[in-house]
Amino acid sequence: MRKRKIYLIINFLVAIAITAQAQVGKWQSGIVMQEFLYDKAPFPSCHSATIAETPTGLVASFFGGTKERNPDVEIYVSRFVDGGWLAPVSVADGIQPDGMRLPTWNPVLYQVPGGDLLLFYKIGPKPSEWWGLMKTSKDGGISWSDATKLPDGYIGPVKNKPVLLSNGNLFAPSSKEGDGWKIHFEVTKDNGKTWRTVGPLPENGVKAIQPSILQHGNGKLQILARTANRAIVESWSEDNGETWSALTKTSLPNNNSGTDAVTMKDGRQVLVYNHVLPPGDLAKGPRTPLNVSVSKDGKNWSAALILEDSPISQYSYPAVIQTSDGMLHFIYTWRREKIKHVVVDPSKLKLKKIKNGVWPKLKGYTAPVITATKSEEP
């Protein structure tokens, strides 16, 4: 009887997942390709992907190992060559000079215009104690330099990509989690040789980390960030990032999970995130669904895509870029088992306004009930 009950439960969950996947297609106008970076890998768990366009093609990076925080977690790189992703290759680990091994964390790729591909990452037992390192590649991620440790107290971009401003400053959005959650920026004019800090930002009673930078022209910048306050928060700068307003909540929900955003060539803003509130009054909740919204002004948002919608969590820690051909590329954690890559033609998006932070209803689409989740890691 017990085996039959388990069998029925499994079948029920599978049926929900199949139905959800069929319905989510109604929210996927504009998607031109979906794929995993790999089918099999020498590690069971992966997370925190990043992507960049180089002169020789797309490059992605993420960390993989037994489990987040385990000492065997390494930084892997995959390259898109001849229409497909090559097998991931380890490019950094946490082995110390004395033989001690520590986990690696949160790689971030950045292609210097006309220059090297930069790889930022962290080493340390936990986020409150990690430190930043950087490697460079002159051949689009095929080979890498030795690691350079960033100056004491610097970790580089904490999760999301740096942004090159019109004044030549490369602004790395960053944050720290030791003495409370605090957002700051690490700024370089010479591609990582020297650094200075802007911030931390006024907290205004908000616990926020992992910002993304959006550009609105004429020195006006905006950040959107993850919080433990059940909402995505924002801050604004009118002077190319030298001073910032206090953090304030937006109308968009946050489940205490990472987000990313990018300014498109046409000036519109794109945000990828889990549009879901945690249950009750909790700060953290399931990391499903995974959504994309678009805005002209960074304030008023329209629903654009549901990349994933399943009762099985998690779809998380997304990254987004726009490539030279105008396509949007999203990359994210798929259930901690794989890294998924989705290509979107922004000209084919069908937008529907988000009112009061509620994802709009679409005829024929019913969101699945979340009935099974995996434990949510940091």
For 186, residues 6+ apart whose C-beta sits below 8 A from its C-beta are 150, 154, 155, 156, 157, 172, 174, 195, 196, 197
Quote the CA–CA distance of 12 and 369 in Å, as a whole number: 12
What's the pLDDT at 178?
86
pLDDT category, 331, cuts 50, 70, 90?
Answer: very high
Q: How many CB atoms lie within 10 A of CB 174?
A: 29
The per-residue pLDDT for 375 is 43
Question: Distance between CA 44 and CA 101 in Å, rounded?
Answer: 19
Q: What is the mean pLDDT of residues 115-124?
A: 98
Q: What angle do CA 179, 108, 206 make, to 5 degrees?
A: 35
| pLDDT exceeds cutoff 50 at 104 | yes
Of the CA atoms within 13 Å of residue 375, those in its CB half-sphere come to: 4
Rg of the chain in Å (alpha carbons) = 20
| Cα–Cα distance measured from residue 226 to residue 209, given in angstroms and rounded to the nearest whole number | 5
Asked if residue 261 has pLDDT above 90, the reply is yes
- pLDDT one-digit tens code per residue, 18-71: 544 556 778 999 999 999 999 999 999 999 999 999 999 999 999 999 999 999
Distance CA 250, CA 219 (A): 22
239-264 mean pLDDT: 98
Q: 0.95 exceeded by the pTM?
A: no
| Residues 271-314 pLDDT 10s | 999 999 999 999 999 999 999 999 999 999 999 999 999 988 89
Q: What is the pLDDT of residue 106?
A: 98
Q: pLDDT over 90 for what percent of the chain? A: 87
pLDDT for the residue numbered 2:
55
What are the distances in angstroms from CA 322 to CA 114, 121, 207, 340? 17, 22, 29, 16
- Residue of 342, 362, 328, 365 whose CA lies nearest to 53: 328
**Residue 256 tokens, joined:** 């205490």
* Alpha-carbon dihedral 25, 26, 30, 31, rounded to 10 degrees: -10
Q: Torsions phi, psi of 217, nearest 5?
A: 90, 155
Q: Which two tokens stand for residue 339?
A: 């890294």
CATH code assigned to 31-358 = 2.120.10.10
Tell me which residue of 55, 102, 50, 95 sits closest to 76, measured CA to CA. Answer: 50
